Amino acid sequence: EKWRLGLAKYAFSMALGFGSAIAFSGNCALAQVIPDNSLGTQVDPNLAITGGTTVGGSNLFHSFSSFTVPDGAVADFQNATNIVNIFSRVTGGVQSDILGTIQAQGNANFFLLNPSGIAFGPNAQLRIGGSFVGTTADGIRFPDGGEFSLTSAVAPNNQLLTVNPSALFFNQTPTGAITNQSTVGLEVGTGQNLFLVGGNVNFDGGVVRAPGGRIELGGLAAPGEVVIEDNPEGSNPSLTFPDVRLTFPDDVAKADVLIDNSAIVDVVGNDGGDIFINAGNITVSGGSNICAGIGADASSCDTPGFGSGGVGSEAGNILFNATGAVSIRQSRIENNVNPGATGNSLRNIFEALDNDELFGSILISAGSFSLTDDATLSTSTFGQGSAGVVFVDSDDSVLVNNSRIFSNVESGGVGDAGGVLIIADSLSVFDGILTASTLGLGDAGLVAVEATGSVTLAGQNTGMFSALGTDAQGEALGIVIEAGSFSMTDGAQLNVSTLGRGDAGLVAIETTGSVFLGGQNTGIFSAVGTDAQGDALGILIEAGSFAMTDGAQLNANTFGLGDAGDMVIEAGSVSMTGGATITTQTFGEGSGGIILIQSDGAVSMTGSGTLVTSNVESTATGNTIGIRIDARSLFMDGGAELQALTRGDGNAGVILINAADFVELSGVSPTEGFSTGLFTSTEDTATGPGGFIIVNTDNLRLSDGAVLSARTRNSFQGGDILVTVNNLEVINGGQILTTAFENGRAGRILVIARDRITLSGRDANFRERFLQTLARSIDQFGPVQGPSIALQIFDNVAPGSSGIFANASAGSTAEGGGIFVFSPELFIQDGATITVNNQGTGPAGDLFILARDLFLNNEGTITAETASGQGGNITLGGVELLLLLRNSQISTRAGQPPNGGNGGNIDIDTRFVLSAPGNDSNIRANAFDGDGGNISISASRLFDIEEREDVLTTNDITASSEFGRDGVVTTNVANADPTPESTNLPTNPVDPTTLIAETCPTRSSIAEREKNQFIITGQGGLPPDPNAAFPGEAVVNDWEATSEEVEESTEDSSNASPTPVATTPPPSANLIEAQGWIYGENGEIIFTAQAPNVTPTTLVLNSSSTCNAN
C-alpha cells in the first residue's frame, strides 16, 4: 500500500504543477525572469528590467531568483548610460536558459552570475555595447575585499564595489556548466571581451564573436579563483574592460571545454583579437572553427571577409592552455591575415621569441595534443603581413593524423611565414603536414620540434616543409628536430627546397638515439629547383645511430642557379641498405656540396642501388666537393656505391675514407651485376678532371668483384687513387683501377702498406655477370644499343682478375696511369696482377714497387704492356727476395701484331731472384715491331732464371723484338762461390780428435762423462788441407782508427759517410810453421822454428789415467 500512496502523491503534485502553468500561461515571461527582491530589481511583463542597486555611480547590481529568457524575448536592462558595469546574479538554484536576447544600454559591460549553470539556446543573442561575462562562479571579487556573491549585501555607499572587479571565485563543487547552442551567435562589439567561465563549457553548434576583441573560455572543477588582470599588451591598472584578461590558477583542477558540431569562436577584425581557452581538457570537433586574425568581419570563419586592417594592425593570439588533453578533430583553428588585408609586423619566429611578441599566433600548452581527422591549424598570410607562429607545448605526446599545421605565406601574400614549433615528449605525424613555407613574397619560416622521446613521421602525404614555392621570393629558415629518436617511413618527407628566388634552409636533426629513414619516396630534401635562384644550406644529422633502407633518400641538389647544400651525418653507427641514397648533385649553375659521414663505430652500405653520390650532371656548370667518411670501419656489399662524378662543366669531387680499423668492399649487385665500390669519373660530356679516391685505414679488403675505380672518358685527366694501410687484401676479382677511355691520361695509383699486400685470385662470376647484364640491356634497349650499354657498365673493371690497374682502354689515345706500391711484403698470386697496360694507341704508364719480399705465384703478373704504344717502365727496388713461381710474369711488352711500339724498361734491384725449374716464369721487355726494352737486374744471386730465348718450360729473361732491335739485358750478379779455388784433399786425412787434448770434466759432471770440445767455424778457420797454409783471399778485418784519424773524420762526418778501404799488407819472407815455443825474459811466449830440448820437471799423466782417476 505504501508504494500506491507514494504514486498518488506524485500524481497530485504533477497535476498541481500543470495547473499552475496553465494559470500563468498568459504571463510566462514574468514567471521566468524573477527578481529576488534583495537589490530592488524590477521586471515588467515585457522583461524590461529596471531598478537594482547602483554603487559609485558606475556599477549597477541586480539579483534574480530565476533568470531564463524565452525564445524570441528580450531581457532589456534599462540602465543609465553612465553605468560602466552591470552585475546580475541568480540566487534561485536553477540554471539560466537564455533562449532569447540580453540587451543593455550604452557601452556597459554585462556580468551574468549563476552557479547553477547557464545555457544559451539556438536563438540566443547579446545586444550590449560593452563586454560580456557569463560565469557559474560563486561570486565576483573586487579589489580591497569587495565581493558580489549570491548572499552578499550590496549597499549604495559600499566603496569596495565602486571599482572594476578583480576576480571570479569558486567555493563549491560541482560547479555549474555553461552551454552554448546559439547558432545566431553571441556577439559583442568590436574590440570588446566575451568571457564564459564555468564549470565545464560546452559549445554544441554555438557561435561566439568578438571582432578584434577577446574571447576567453574555461572553468574550474574545484574551489579556486580566476583573476581578472591587466592585459600585458597594455597598461590598465584600473582593470577597465576590455583591456583585461583572465588568469587561471595553476594548482586548481580545471573543468573541460568542448567545442563541437560546427561551433564557431571568432575574433577576426581590423586589429587585435585574442582567443584564450583554459581548461582541464579541450576538445574541438565536428567541423568547428576557431578563428582570429586580420580581415573584414564575416558571418563565418569558413568565408572570411576581404580587405580591412592596415599598417600597424596586429592580430592577436589563439591560446589553448590545458592540464590534460587538447584534441582537435575535423576542425580548423586559424589566425590568418586574410586576402586583401594588411597587418602583422612579425618578421620570423626568432624575432618573435626574442621580443616576446607573438602576433597572429596559435599557442597550445597541454598534457597531450592531437590533431586528427582532417583538422587544421593555420597562421598564414593571404594578404600583406607576416604569418604568426604555431607553438605546441605538450608534457606528453603530440599526434598529427590526416591533418595539417600551416604557417605560410600563401599565393598572392606579402610577408614572412612565422613558423611551427612543437615541444613534447613525443611527436607522431601520420598523413599529416607541418609547413612554414612561402608561395608569395617573403621568407619561409622555421619548423622546429623538440621531443625528449620519439619523433615519428609516416605516410605518403606526410611531411615537414620550409620551402619557397615557384613564384616565391625570400629565404627558407629550415627544419630543426631535436629528439630522443627520429623515424620517417612510407613516403614521409622533410623539405627545405627553393623553387623561387631565395636560399633553401637547413634541415638539422639531433637525437641521442636512432635516426631511421625507410621506404620509397621517404626522404630529406634541401634543393634548389628548376628555374630557381638561391643556395641550399643542406642537411645535418647527429644521432646515436643512423639507418636508411628501402629507397629512402637524403638529397641536397641544385637544378637552378645556386649551390647545393652540404650533408653532414654524425652518428655512433651508420647503416644504408635496400637502395637507400644520399646525393648532392648539381644540374644547373652551381656547385655541389660535400657529403660528410662521421661515426665512432661502423659505417655499413649494402644492397643494389644503395648509393652515396656527389655529381655534376650533364646540364650543370659547377664543381662538386665530394664524399668524406670518418669511421671506425666501413663495410660495403651487394653493389653499394660511393660516387663522385662529373658529366657537366665542372670538376668531379674527392672520395676520402678514414677508417681506424678496416675498410671492406665485397661483391656485386645480385640483380644488375654492378660492382660494389668507390667510383670517381669525368664522363664524356664533362669538361673537368676526375676526382681522387683516398683511403686511409688499418686493413683494406676488396673481394668478389668490388673495386676502387677512377676513370676518364674525355680529354681531362682521371682522378688518382691513394691508399695508405697496414694490410691490403685484394682477392677474388677485387680491383683498384684507374682507366682512360679517350685521350685524357689515366689517373695514378699510390699504395702504401706498412705490413703486407696480398693480391689473389679472379672473379669466378665475371663472365656470368657480363652475360646477365648484356641480356638485360638488349631486352631494355634493343640489339643495337644494348651491347654498347653493357660494355659501358663493365668497362669500369678489368676482366675478372684481382689486382691494381692503371690502364687505357682499346680505342683510346690516352697515356696509361702510373702505379707506385710500397710494402714490406707483396704477394701477387692465382692470376692477380699489377698492371699499367695500354690497349689503345698511347704509351703505358710507369710502375714502381718498393718491397722487401716480392712473391709472384701461380700466374701472378706485373706488367706495363701496350697494344701499339711505348711500353711502360717497371722498377722493383729494395727487394730482398723476388720469387717467381708457376707461370708468373714481369713484362713490359709493347705492340701486338701488326702494331709497333718499343718495349718498356725493367729495372730490378734485389738480393735474390728465385724461381723453380719448369715453371715458365719470365721477365720480358719484348716488342713486336718496335725495339725491345732494356732489362737491368742487380742481385746477389739468380736461382733457375737467366737470359735466354723465351721457352715455355724454362724461366727466361728476354728483351727481344720481332721486327725491331732487341733490347739489352744487364745482370749485375755478385755470386759468392763457396769454393773459389779447388784444393785436393790429403791422402791421409787427419783425425781432428788427435789435434785436441781431452781433459777431465769437473767433479760435478763426472756422472755425465762429458768431454770438452773445440769448434772452429767461419771463413777464417782451418785451411782445406790441415797440413797447408790457407791459400784463399785475405780476410778483411775491422780496423780501428788512431786517435788522429778519428779526430779528422769527425770534423766532416756530417758530409761524408764511411767508406771501407782495402788494406794491402807489406811483403814478407816465407812463413815457416812454428815447431815449438819458449818463455822470454819477461815471461812472454815466443814461437820457435826448432823444437827445443827440455826436461820435464813435473809428473806427466796420460789422459786415460787422468780421466779415470777418482
Arithmetic mean of pLDDT, 517-529: 91
pLDDT in tens, 292-338: 888 755 444 655 554 454 455 677 899 999 999 999 999 999 988 77
| Torsion sign across C-alpha atoms 36, 37, 39, 43 | positive
**What pLDDT does residue 312 have?**
53
Query: What pLDDT score does 679 carry?
Result: 94
Q: How confident is the model at residue 559 (pLDDT cuts 50, 70, 90)?
A: confident
Residues 331-344: pLDDT tens digits? 999 988 777 656 55
Could you count the other beta carbons within 10 Å of the beta carbon of residue 34? 16
- For range 892-919, the mean pLDDT: 86
> Are 873 and 843 within 8 A, CB to CB?
no
- 581 pLDDT band (50/70/90 cuts)? very high
Residues 980 and 1032: beta-carbon distance below 8 Å: yes
Cα separation, 210 vs 343, in Å, equals: 18
pLDDT tens, residue by residue, 627-652: 999 999 999 999 999 999 888 788 88
Examine the pLDDT at 457 and tell me if it is beyond 90: yes
In sequence order, what DSSP letters do the residues of 1012-1064 get, joined into one string?
A: ------STTS--SSTTS---SPPP----PPPHHHHHHHHHTTTT--------P
Q: Are 723 and 700 in contact (CB under 8 A)?
A: yes
Instruction: Check whether 765 has a pLDDT greater than 70.
Output: yes
User: Given pLDDT bands bounded at 50, 70 and 90, which one contains residue 352?
Assistant: low
Task: Measure Cα distances from 602 to 485, 511, 679 in Å.
Answer: 19, 18, 21
pLDDT at 278: 97
Length of the chain: 1110
Nearest Cα residue to 776 out of 793, 801, 764 = 793
733 vs 951 pLDDT, higher one: 733
- Asked if residue 91 has pLDDT above 50, the reply is yes
- Tell me the backbone φ, ψ of residue 1062, rounded to 5 degrees: -75, 130
Q: Are 515 and 509 in contact (CB under 8 A)?
A: yes
Is the model's pLDDT at 43 over the cut of 50?
A: yes
pLDDT band for position 616 (cuts 50, 70, 90) = confident
Q: What is the pLDDT of residue 791?
A: 59
Q: In sequence order, what E strands does 941-1038 have?
A: 941-943, 946-947, 956-958, 969-973
Residue 1032 above 50 pLDDT?
Answer: no
Q: pLDDT at residue 1051 above 60?
A: no
Residue range 989-1016: mean pLDDT, rounded: 48
What average pLDDT does this structure show over 388-408? 94
Q: Which residue has the higher pLDDT, 600 or 1092?
A: 600
CA–CA gap between residue 681 and residue 1105 (Å, rounded): 92
Q: Tell me the C-alpha distance between 1017 and 77, whole Å.
A: 136
Whether residue 365 is predicted with pLDDT greater than 50 in this model: the reply is yes
So what's the pLDDT on residue 61? 97
Give residue 808's pLDDT: 82
* pLDDT above 60: residue 989: no
Are 884 and 878 in contact by the 8 Å Cβ rule? The answer is no
Is 724 a residue whose pLDDT tops 90? yes
Give the integer Cα–Cα distance in Å for 924 and 937: 12
pLDDT at 1052: 43
Q: Are 181 and 206 in contact (CB under 8 A)?
A: yes
pLDDT band, residue 258 (cuts 50/70/90): very high
481-516 confidence digits (pLDDT tens): 999 999 999 999 999 888 878 887 899 999 999 999
Give me 702's grid cell. 676488396
3-class secondary-structure state, position 563: coil
Q: What does the pLDDT look like over 107-130, one tens digit per residue?
A: 999 999 999 999 999 999 999 999
- Please state the rounded mean pLDDT for residues 753-771: 86
pLDDT band, very low/low/confident/very high, at 896 (cuts 50, 70, 90): confident
pLDDT value at position 1080? 66
- Of 466-475, 601-610, 1065-1074, the one with minimum mean pLDDT is 1065-1074
Q: State yes or no: pLDDT of 771 exceeds 80.
A: no
∠ CA 956-958-961, nearest 5°, is: 145
In this prediction, residues 811-816 reach a mean pLDDT of 79
- Specify the 3-state DSSP secondary structure of 777: helix
Contact partners, residue 1068, CB within 8 Å, separation at least 6? none
Categorize the per-residue pLDDT at 357 as very low, low, confident or very high, splitting at 50, 70 and 90. Answer: low
Q: State the pLDDT at residue 977.
A: 47
- Tens-place pLDDT, residues 965-983: 889 999 998 754 444 444 4
The residues facing 328 across adjacent strands are 284, 371
Q: How confident is the model at residue 996 (pLDDT cuts 50, 70, 90)?
A: very low
Domain parsing of the chain, residue ranges:
645-834, 843-977
Look at residue 1108 and tell me whether its pLDDT is greater than 80.
no
Res. 1056: pLDDT tops 50: no
pLDDT of 237 reads: 67
- pLDDT at position 981: 43
- The yes-or-no verdict on residue 1048 having pLDDT over 50 is no
| Dihedral angle computed from the Cα positions of residues 908, 911, 913 and 914, in that order, rounded to the nearest 10 degrees | -160
Over pLDDT 70: what percentage of the chain? 78
The answer to whether 887 touches 922, Cβ cutoff 8 Å, is: no
Q: Find the range with the poorest average confidence among 24-38, 178-192, 615-629.
A: 24-38
Residues above pLDDT 90, as percent of the chain: 52
Bigger pLDDT: 54 vs 561: 54
| Residue 768 confidence class, pLDDT cut points 50, 70, 90 | confident
Residue 238 banded pLDDT, cuts 50, 70, 90: low
Give the pLDDT confidence of 935-957 residue by residue, as tens digits: 999 999 999 999 988 777 899 99
pLDDT single digits (tens) 189-207: 999 999 999 999 999 999 9
Q: What is the mean pLDDT of residues 751-772?
A: 86
Mean pLDDT of 241-249: 89
pLDDT at 397: 98
pLDDT of 788 reads 61
User: Given this model, what pLDDT does residue 255 score?
Assistant: 97
Does position 369 have pLDDT exceeding 50, yes or no?
yes
Instruction: Please provide the average confidence, as pLDDT, over all residues in the chain.
Output: 82
Overall average pLDDT of the 282-288 stretch: 97
Q: What is the pLDDT of residue 477?
A: 86
Most confident range, picked from 83-97, 795-809, 1026-1040: 83-97
**Which position has the higher pLDDT, 273 or 64?**
64
Winning range, highest mean pLDDT, from 652-661, 945-954, 996-1005, 1045-1054: 652-661
Which DSSP category does 533 fall into?
B
